[in-house]
A = this chain, B = another copy of it.
Amino acid sequence: MINFTLNPPANIGIIGGGQLGKMLSIKAKSLGYTVTILDPNPFAPAMSVADHKIIANFSDVESIKKLANLCEVITYEFEHIDADILIDLENTGHIVIPSGKTLKLIQDKYEQKSFLKSINITVPEFYKVTNKEDLINCSKKLGFPFILKSSKGGYDGKGNCVIKSPTDLDWGFEQLNSTNLLAEKYINYSKELSILIAIGKNKECNHYPVVENIHEDSILRLTKAPAKISPSIENKIHEISMKIVESLDDIGLFCIEFFLTANGEVYINEIAPRPHNSGHYTLEACETSQFEQLLRIVTGLPLGSTDLIYPAAMVNVLGNEYVNGAYQYAGLSKILKDDKIYVHLYGKKNTHYLKKLGHITVCDSSLSLAVEKSLNALKNLEIKSND
């Protein structure tokens, strides 16, 4: 393992200028680091809080090399980068966290599940699908309904289909339009859970509390921290998470999503090698936010405490059906009348239906009250057209 410490004003390169990159940049800037963002969109949220900007596609090898040459370390805020470019950078002496090898493994869902299976982690039954014949064959093994996914590139439900009956097979295959697919058993879960786990340069490992996530239309709507689960389920999730990050043999901040069934079975859904929407609550509810934690990891600083200070509820602020393009908010005054309500708006130039525009976290000694307050706050936040 590389032993390094980067003190300010070291330059940190972030591939991706979305809200995760923005919140990471803000923490880095507070600590006196320099930040360089690479993103094709010059108006991406992180651009306005960065020292240097590289406007380039994520597949632009020369621009990513330029970023590496400017920065002392590189990290990324999303998975859809050509991992081979990062591996090449590491081979020429650059530091990439998490490593290109880890990204390559995680970004292909079939490879990710195969890896998990190989280390004896319970994943839903899954098969590779490269053509319609594969699809028909595995539908016989999995039964209906089952999930068909693009192995690469999906997020927020994009690249996923539920195949409910044999008549959906052709439709699903055409929808996803790929020869790199994954068919997966449908898990009839009672809860969706996730955990953030941080592993630093000395292989010290801190996990955050297990949280419960509520999705609608495959988009995260609400995170409840902590999840109401039994100590034995919690322990199982800790054990699985530790085993995974140990097996990855890397450093970084990882989010692991789980399905919990009514009879207490735990299946892994996905791993993300970066800060995660379900970890936004850590900004106010934990001693060290997921963004500060990743900053500490990529600069070789000691990990911070992951203790939960208050129970918290986080709701996403999503674009509505009625406004497309430029927009403004209203209603903040009503929301901010109460204490311990934290509004984060990402400053995206345009909205569309279900686009992630921000989030609101509410801390309260009672989790159910926090949930209620967060949903109320969300109702009070209006998104209006600029026209």
A residues whose Cβ falls under 8 Å from a Cβ of B: 5, 7-10, 22-23, 26, 29-35, 48-51, 287, 296, 299-302, 304-305, 307, 328-333, 336-337, 339-340, 343-347, 358
7 A-B residue pairs with Cβ-Cβ distance under 8 Å, sorted by A, are A9-B345, A26-B29, A32-B344, A301-B332, A302-B336, A302-B337, A307-B339
Question: Are B304 and A336 within 8 A (Cβ)?
Answer: yes
Bound Cα distance A336, B48 (Å): 28
Bound Cα distance A258, B178 (Å): 71
Interface residue from B7, B22, B30 paired with A328 (Cβ < 8 Å): B7
Nearest CB in chain B: distance from A262 CB, A: 38
Interface residue from B22, B31, B331 paired with A7 (Cβ < 8 Å): B331
Question: Are B339 and A304 within 8 A (Cβ)?
Answer: yes
Bound Cα distance A26, B23 (Å): 10
Given contacts A340-B287, A345-B8, contact A329 B32 (CB under 8 A): yes
Question: Are B7 and A330 within 8 A (Cβ)?
Answer: yes
Bound Cα distance A48, B34 (Å): 9
Chain B neighbourhood of A347, CB < 8 A:
8-9, 29, 32-34
Question: Are A287 and B8 within 8 A (Cβ)?
Answer: no
Chain B neighbourhood of A287, CB < 8 A:
339-340
Chain B neighbourhood of A336, CB < 8 A:
296, 301-302, 304
Chain B neighbourhood of A30, CB < 8 A:
23, 26, 344-345
Question: Are B301 and A9 within 8 A (Cβ)?
Answer: no
Interface residue from B49, B307, B332 paired with A48 (Cβ < 8 Å): B49
Chain B neighbourhood of A35, CB < 8 A:
48
A-B residue pairs, 10 tightest by C-beta: A32-B345, A7-B329, A305-B339, A48-B51, A49-B49, A8-B329, A302-B337, A8-B345, A301-B336, A32-B347
Sample of 4 further A-B pairs with CB below 8 A, known A8-B345, A48-B49, A302-B333: A8-B329, A8-B332, A287-B339, A304-B339
Chain B neighbourhood of A302, CB < 8 A:
333, 336-337
Nearest CB in chain B: distance from A307 CB, A: 8
Bound Cα distance A227, B331 (Å): 37
Chain B neighbourhood of A9, CB < 8 A:
328-329, 345, 347
Bound Cα distance A9, B350 (Å): 11
Nearest CB in chain B: distance from A197 CB, A: 19
Chain B neighbourhood of A330, CB < 8 A:
7
Chain B neighbourhood of A7, CB < 8 A:
328-332
Residue of B with least CB distance to A287: B339
Bound Cα distance A49, B336 (Å): 24
Chain B neighbourhood of A299, CB < 8 A:
332
Bound Cα distance A296, B342 (Å): 13
Interface residue from B5, B49, B51, B328 paired with A29 (Cβ < 8 Å): B49
Nearest CB in chain B: distance from A142 CB, A: 44
Chain B neighbourhood of A305, CB < 8 A:
339
Nearest CB in chain B: distance from A55 CB, A: 16
Bound Cα distance A358, B321 (Å): 45
Chain B neighbourhood of A331, CB < 8 A:
7
Nearest CB in chain B: distance from A172 CB, A: 38
Nearest CB in chain B: distance from A310 CB, A: 11
